[in-house]
Amino acid sequence: MADDSDLVDTGRRRGRGARSNRAGRFESELREVFDDGWETLGQLESFKTEVREEHARSIIARNDSPDISFEQSINPYRGCEHGCIYCFARPTHCYLGHSAGLDFETKLYAKVNAAELLERELGSPRYLPKFIALGAVTDPYQPIERERCITRSILEVLDRTSHPVGIVTKSALVVRDLDILSRMAARGLVKVAISVTTLDRMVARKMEPRAATPPKRLGAIAALAQAGVPVAVMVAPIIPALNDSEIEAILAEAKRAGATEAGYVLLRLPLELKELFREWLQTEFPDRAARIINILRSMHGGKDYTPDWGVRQRGRGAFAEQIGLRFRLAIKSLDLNRRTSRLRLDLFQRPVAKGGQMPLL
């Protein structure tokens, strides 16, 4: 683990999740902040959110992972201001020459041409309609969506073309788009999953500093359900000895709010996330840091993380089996997952490019 000299001063990272900002694994040079004797460290600015506009070349990403329930996804943003310390997407920021730490939360990219690209890709004669997951990597409703409205513009295209979509978010901002979502839900074209990691507001503030509070997420579940939008709760990630004791309570509150489906994912610690999570534990929960890591390692064969399909999100061993059993018993007693929402593909209407010919039939 990195020593204390790698940690960024509390004042500079206030309201952020990561404690450090070391260079990514692809960088040939390492940068280190040090006191040069002229008291310049006291003049360093705090980490502020920067949004860079990106003109993407394509917008629908595809995967063939057997343990993921979708083949297509769209991520309107790179990086995420929510600052969740456990986010498995943090290491992806290193591909951009940034740190998986504070850079991930503060150096954001907005794909400003997302809706235009989506319409073009859906309009291709070779495109076959398949379920699209919106926000599979970074949250589509993170704070900058209030101004950018890229997620809303994507939904407008999907609504207009009657294309099925599933949304994963931990933001209450999703209710802003109830007009579109309720319209699509009436045609069997959308479902939303709200991530609820804890019901404890203090724990949530530490883990997810700029995400919606637990009550607001439950409120979003209620609003979606009342509008006729199928909604699921994701107990994700489950962190042993930190929030695993809340599994049953989270599911019960989500059910009460209107959720009809539920899922869970175990904490994943790929690449740089291993050190970032350890740093966070040592500063926020030093009394249980060793226990949390030891249990996690026991579920991955003595390692911090196993990237193997089928294991990376569930783990192995007695503790992992116990979590799975508790989850299954809870959803059975709450009558969750009795029916899963199947979205329709047969309503898809291929968009016509400007100047193109409308279909004859």
Separation between Cα atoms, residue 243 and residue 236, nearest integer Å: 10
Separation between Cα atoms, residue 50 and residue 89, nearest integer Å: 18
Q: How far is CA 149 from CA 22, 114, 115, 171, 176, in A?
A: 31, 11, 10, 14, 10
Examine residue 328 and state whether it is found in any structural domain, yes or no: yes
Q: What domain range includes position 234?
A: 7-22+48-333
Identify which of 118, 105, 43 has the alpha carbon closest to the alpha carbon of residue 79.
Answer: 105
For the domain that residue 119 is a member of, what is the CATH number?
3.80.30.30
Total domain count, the chain: 1
Predicted confidence (pLDDT) per residue in 91-130, tens digit: 999 999 999 999 999 999 999 999 999 999 999 999 999 9
DSSP letters spanning 248-304: HHHHHHHHHHT--EEEEEE----TTHHHHHHHHHHHH-TTTHHHHHHHHHHTTTTSS
Residue 161: per-residue pLDDT: 98
Residue 358: per-residue pLDDT: 53
Examine residue 35 and state whether it is found in any structural domain, yes or no: no
Examine residue 358 and state whether it is found in any structural domain, yes or no: no
Examine residue 1 and state whether it is found in any structural domain, yes or no: no
Residue 64: per-residue pLDDT: 81
Q: Which helix (H) or strand (E) holds 51?
A: strand 50-54
Going by the DSSP 8-state scheme, the letter that residue 132 receives in this structure is E
pLDDT-flagged residues of the chain (< 70):
1-5, 26-44, 353-361
Examine residue 42 and state whether it is found in any structural domain, yes or no: no
Examine residue 350 and state whether it is found in any structural domain, yes or no: no
Separation between Cα atoms, residue 216 and residue 319, nearest integer Å: 31
Q: What pTM did the predictor assign?
A: 0.91
Residue 357: per-residue pLDDT: 54
Examine residue 123 and state whether it is found in any structural domain, yes or no: yes
Which phi and psi (to 5°) does residue 111 adopt? -85, 85
Examine residue 39 and state whether it is found in any structural domain, yes or no: no
Would strands 61-62 and 72-74 be described as parallel, antiparallel, or unpaired? antiparallel
Residue 340: per-residue pLDDT: 80
